[in-house]
């Protein structure tokens, strides 16, 4: 399943790249991209565990840049 999320207070391009890399490493994520310009996260992940994966995504993003919020 492919879904898009808006990101709030993502204000560092380097962090966006780090987040993208961290999200891609999560088990069950097929593909992910964090767009600094659009302030958006596009994620393609396994359907059955999507919510659990998103919780994980939130955790890794908080590690990279705690100010950024994923609007779910």
Partner 1 sequence: MSKKQKQMVIRIVVAFIMLLLILAGEHTGWTDRIQPQMLVGLICLIPYEIIGYDILYKAARNIRNGQIFDENFLMMIATFGAFGVGEYSEAVAVMLFYQVGELFQGYAVGKSRQSISDMMDICPEYANIEEEGVLTQVDPDDVELGTVIVIMPGERIPLDGVVIEGESMIDTAALTGESVPRRVIPGDTIISGCVNGSGTLKVRTTKEFDDSTVARILELVENASAKKAPVENFITRFAKYYTPVVTIGAVILAFVPPIAGALTGVGSFGSLLGIWLYRACTFLVISCPCALVISVPLGFFGGIGAASRIGVLIKGSNYLEAVAEVDTIVFDKTGTLTKGEFKVTEVLPISMSEEKLLEVAALGEGYSTHPIAASIREAYGSALDMERVTNTEEISGHGIHTWIDGKEVYLGNAKLIESLQIPFTKSDRAGTVVYVASEGRFVGTIVIADTVKNGAKEALSAMKRVGVKKTVMLTGDRKEAAVAVAEQLGIDEVHYELLPADKVSKVEQLLETQAEKSKLAFVGDGINDAPVLTRADVGIAMGSMGSDAAIEAADIVLMDDDVRKIASVVGISRKTLGIVKQNIVFALAVKALVLLLGATGYANMWAAVFADVGVSVLAILNSMRTLRVNKK
Please report whether residue 37 would count as binding partner 1 according to CB under 8 A: yes
Rounded to a whole number of angstroms, the minimum distance from the CB of residue 16 to partner 1 is 9
DSSP 3-state assignment of 25? coil
70 binds partner 1 (CB under 8 A): no
Q: Residue 62 in contact with residue 16, Cβ under 8 Å?
A: no
Q: CB of 51: closest distance to partner 1 in angstroms?
A: 23
- Contact between 71 and partner 1 per CB under 8 A: no
What radius of gyration, in Å, describes the C-alpha atoms of the chain? 11
Closest C-alpha among 13, 43, 8 to residue 25: 43
Residue 35 near partner 1 by CB under 8 A: yes
């Amino acid at each position: 399943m492919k879904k898009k999320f808006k990101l709030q207070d993502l204000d560092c391009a380097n962090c966006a790249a780090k987040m993208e890399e961290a999200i891609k490493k999560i088990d069950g994520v097929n593909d992910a991209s964090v767009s600094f310009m659009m302030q958006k996260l596009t994620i393609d992940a396994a359907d059955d565990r999507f919510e659990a994966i998103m919780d994980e995504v939130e955790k890794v993003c908080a590690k990279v840049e705690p100010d950024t919020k994923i609007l779910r």
